[in-house]
Structure 1
Amino acid sequence: MLAAVVVAGVLLRDVVPPADAWLVAHASAAPGTRPAAVAAAVSGAGTLLCLVALVAGAVAVLRRRGRGARVGRVVATVPLAASVLLLQGLFLRPGPPQQPQLGTYPSGHVAVVTAVGFAAVLLYGQLGRAWHRAALAGALTAVTLVAASRIVLAEHWLVDAAGAAVGALGVGLLAAAVLRLGPAVRTR
């Protein structure tokens, strides 16, 4: 997954795929409008809600499973998975016309929410299958909404958001393997 993000970054450095151009032309909201305000709120709230879910999951796992819980190792996956945003400095890909900043690939917002959501899914897996499924649904929803909000705000291209999600997930999976977090979904 990480290799795909790097290859896409190299190949698309100065290229705007047609889907990206169409989305920015037709789905972005002008600054100061209600849709832009909603998108900005979704971007912040999605990340904040994932952080709250992660903390709540850590507390629940520690209460239920005690000292033997893998909370510390799971939380360690967050900065590791989010580190994919450091690739921005490597590619310096220009963003949409409304975004004057270079280095929008991969999206930092989407990388962070994906990393936090990934860790939350790992944590809630320790509480049982129903909690795991709920966390997975919540994480997928948060990542999708935050990614869409970045596109609506014309801060990122679709490729920036997709690359961040795929890259953070790839690094998260690699970190989970190195930290020996493996499948921990309990059947209760």
Structure 2
Amino acid sequence: MLAATVLAGVLVHDVIPPADAWLVDHAFAAPGSRLAAVATAIGGVGTLLCLGALTAGAVAAAVVRRRAGRGAGYVARVLVTVPLAASVLLLQGLFLRPGPPQQPQAGTYPSGHVAVVTAIAFAAVLLYRELGQGWHRVALGGALTAVTLVAGSRIVLAEHWLLDAAGAVAGALGIGLLAAAVLRLGPATQVPVRSAG
């Protein structure tokens, strides 16, 4: 996924694919419009909800692991994946891809906002896996929803092209998966949760 992000950045450095142009032409919300206000709120609230879910997941996973007689090292290692996965946004300075016409800033690929939300959501999913399959599914569904809505909000606000958001998701997940492998965060570390009664 990381290789695909870099390759896409090289190939479309100064090219605007038709899907990107169509979306910005048809989905752009004018500043001050109701849709722009909703998109702005989604971007902020989605990020805050992901941070809240990550914090709650870290605390809950640490408690579950402590009760099972295991250390909190796993939780600390998962939290390290957040800045690592979000570091994909550093590629912006390498590609300096121009953004949509409404965005004067160069260097919008990959989207930093989407990269950070994806990194947080990725770590939250790893943490909730420690709480059992049900919580893991809820976290995965919440993460997919949050990343999709935040990415969509960036496109509706014409802050980023579709490819900027897709590259951020792919790159952050690619780095996150590599970090998870290096830090040994695989399913084997899962602690079963005892049912009440």
> TM-score if structure 2 supplies the norm length?
0.93
- What amino acid does structure 2 have at the position aligned with 1:11? L
Q: Distance in 2 between matches of 1:90 and 1:140?
A: 28
- Bigger Rg over Cα: 2
Tell me whether 1:158 sits opposite 2:148 in the alignment: no
8 Å CA contact retained: 2:65, 2:191: no
Q: Which residue number corresponds to residue 107 of structure 2? A: 103
Q: Which residue number corresponds to residue 68 of structure 1? A: 71
Q: Kindly, what percent of the aligned residue pairs are identical?
A: 77
TM superposition shift of 1:62? 1.4
8 Å CA contact retained: 1:111, 1:164: yes
Q: Distance in 1 between matches of 2:144 and 2:15?
A: 28
Mapping of 1:23-102 within 5 angstroms? 23-66=23-66, 68-69=71-72, 70-102=74-106
TM superposition shift of 1:63? 1.5
Tell me whether 1:134 sits opposite 2:141 in the alignment: no
Q: Distance in 1 between matches of 2:116 and 2:179?
A: 15
Q: In the TM superposition, what whole-angstrom CA distance separates every residue of 1:27-74 from its partner, at most 9, and x where no partner exists?
A: 010011110010001001101100000000011111221152311000
8 Å CA contact retained: 2:130, 2:192: no
Tell me which of 99, 110, 117 is aligned to 1:113: 117
Range moving further from structure 2, 57-66 or 23-32? 57-66
8 Å CA contact retained: 1:114, 1:169: yes
Structure 2: 5+ residue stretches without partners: none
- What amino acid does structure 1 have at the position aligned with 2:38? V
8 Å CA contact retained: 2:97, 2:108: yes
8 Å CA contact retained: 2:5, 2:170: yes
Q: Distance in 2 between matches of 1:187 and 1:71?
A: 15
Q: Distance in 1 between matches of 2:94 and 2:40?
A: 27
Tell me whether 1:176 sits opposite 2:180 in the alignment: yes
TM superposition shift of 1:186? 5.2
- What amino acid does structure 1 have at the position aligned with 2:55? V
Structure 1: 5+ residue stretches without partners: none
Q: In the TM superposition, what whole-angstrom CA distance separates every residue of 1:62-91 from its partner, at most 9, and x where no partner exists?
A: 122115231100000000000000000000
Q: Which residue number corresponds to residue 3 of structure 1? A: 3
Aligned structure 1 segments of 4 or more residues deviating by more than 4 angstroms: 184-188
